[in-house]
Amino acid sequence: MTQESDHGRMAATQGSRIDAYVDRYAARATGMVASEIRALFAVASRPEVVSLAGGMPYVTALPLDVVGELVSDLVARRGPVALQYGSGQGDPHLREQICEVMRLEGIDAGPDDVVVTVGSQQALDLITRIFIDPGDVVLAEGPSYVGALGTFSAYQAKVVHVAMDNEGIVPESLAQTIYALKAAGSRIKFLYTVPTFQNPAGVTLSVARRRQVLEICQRAGVLIIEDNPYGLLGFDGEPMRALRADNADGVVYLGSFSKTLAPGFRVGWALAPHAIREKLVLAMESAVLSHSSFTQLAVGQYLATQPWREQIKTFRELYRERRDALLDALEALMPAECTWTRPKGGFFVWASLPEGLDSKAILPRAVAERVAFVPGTGFFTDGGGARHMRLSYCYPEPERIREGVRRLARVIEQEMQLRDTFGTGYAPDHGGVDTPGPDIA
Ligand code: PMP
């Protein structure tokens, strides 16, 4: 051991940020860096801060006493099964129930093609693990879900963003990007998309574009990873038809109970064409042997005995009220130069700041004014997003949302005054926000 690394290790044990192992990590670990949201979480969760940052479902709206009884009943009646190892693919009965849930989005699939995963986040990890060699290309919306970008980076994928607007991915941009990448000899492994109530933009791929995206990818031989945790949380009308409903061979569908029930169960799934499903099960077994039998059976019991469709309706109404509170407050209070999306479901609004403002630079001041958001740059891998921010409305009460927007609007107005006084690129330095904490996305 060198003197330098000895010193580094001592420093590490004394709480310093020097990492004594930095020259020993695998190359892929260099891509593992804390997301913008992670750095924010500890600050944003202080009670005096209105957090429009994290995407935490409002689990308080669940009948917690009923869930409690269900869990204790499960241990009493089926303890020896619930507390035992399970299969790598997941509980067969739960997989059947998952097929019933997916039918609400037009998907006709059998339980044999479903793999239960530790949230859809693990499904993302497993898919990336089985498809990506370092340098392979993943296409993703710009902006894209920060947790997926973290996974792609951990496997050394090269993410290429595809333009999106208020109707989701722009098909022309998708076709052109695929064409250019192929001409340059790049290996495109898949398109990762959140077509419905996207995280972070809140937009939904239109019906016409769904057809076009499917067609373009099918023609180009590009697999689609459809990540759809918010699909049943629409505020008007029936759920959108999933991409997977119209192409069983070219789409891997990822689902989750995190937003329709609770993320604490950590139950999600992948629905995949048969060959991919087999690889997923092997990857799952090497990762965790088997998912928790306990939480799978608890979710299964919940679906079998509780009015889960009604509960989803309750969530939808609650989130609709919060969405309205956020949009009304933005309309009433934000400076005229700001714009934002108008989500029809899900958790997020994507806001654009006036020319010359930088959301990351503004964040420390916003936190000092007791409001938090996520700066847009975390949702891009190419440096985009500086003038944007993600605002989530899922967790705070409507009155808190209004107060949060009041504070945010004040900060933005002050920043605009600075910009007008000192010109664009005034790069205000309000200090850093770098308190580490658990990641939430
Ligand atoms: N995909 C998207 C688009 C998400 O927003 C999230 C959670 N925020 C996930 C996947 C992961 O969710 P989970 O692992 O809890 O199912």
Is the separation of the CB atoms in 232 and 257 below 8 Å? no
pLDDT digits (tens, 9 = 90+) for 312-369: 999 999 999 999 999 999 999 999 999 999 999 999 999 999 999 999 999 989 999 9
d(CA 229, CA 296): 17
Which of 101, 120, 259, 392 maximizes ligand 1 atoms within 8 Å of its Cβ, making it the mutation to test the pocket? Answer: 120
C-alpha closest to that of 123 among 96, 105, 145, 106: 145
pTM, 2 dp: 0.92
CA 20 – ligand 1 centroid, Å:
33
Residues with CB under 6 A from ligand 1: 55, 119-121, 145, 147, 194, 199, 227, 229, 256, 258, 263, 268, 441
CA 152 – ligand 1 centroid, Å:
14
Query: What residue type is assigned to position 127 of the chain?
Result: I
pLDDT digits (tens, 9 = 90+) for 383-429: 999 999 999 999 999 999 999 999 999 999 999 999 988 876 665 55
Residue 18 has pLDDT above 90, yes or no: no
- Contacts for 224 with CB less than 8 Å, ≥ 6 apart: 190, 191, 193, 213, 214, 217, 243, 247, 250, 251, 252
Task: Give me the pLDDT at residue 259, please.
Answer: 98
Atom of ligand 1 at shortest range from CA of 123? 14
Compute the C-alpha angle 419/421/422, nearest 5°: 65
- Contacts for 265 with CB less than 8 Å, ≥ 6 apart: 257, 258, 295, 298, 299
Sign of the torsion formed by the C-alpha atoms of 293, 298, 304 and 307: negative
CA 300 – ligand 1 centroid, Å:
20
Domains of the chain as residue ranges with CATH:
30-61+310-422 (3.90.1150.10), 64-305 (3.40.640.10)
Atom of ligand 1 at shortest range from CA of 55? 8
How many C-beta atoms lie closer than 10 Å to residue 100's C-beta? 11
Task: Write out the two tokens for 279.
Answer: 């690889």
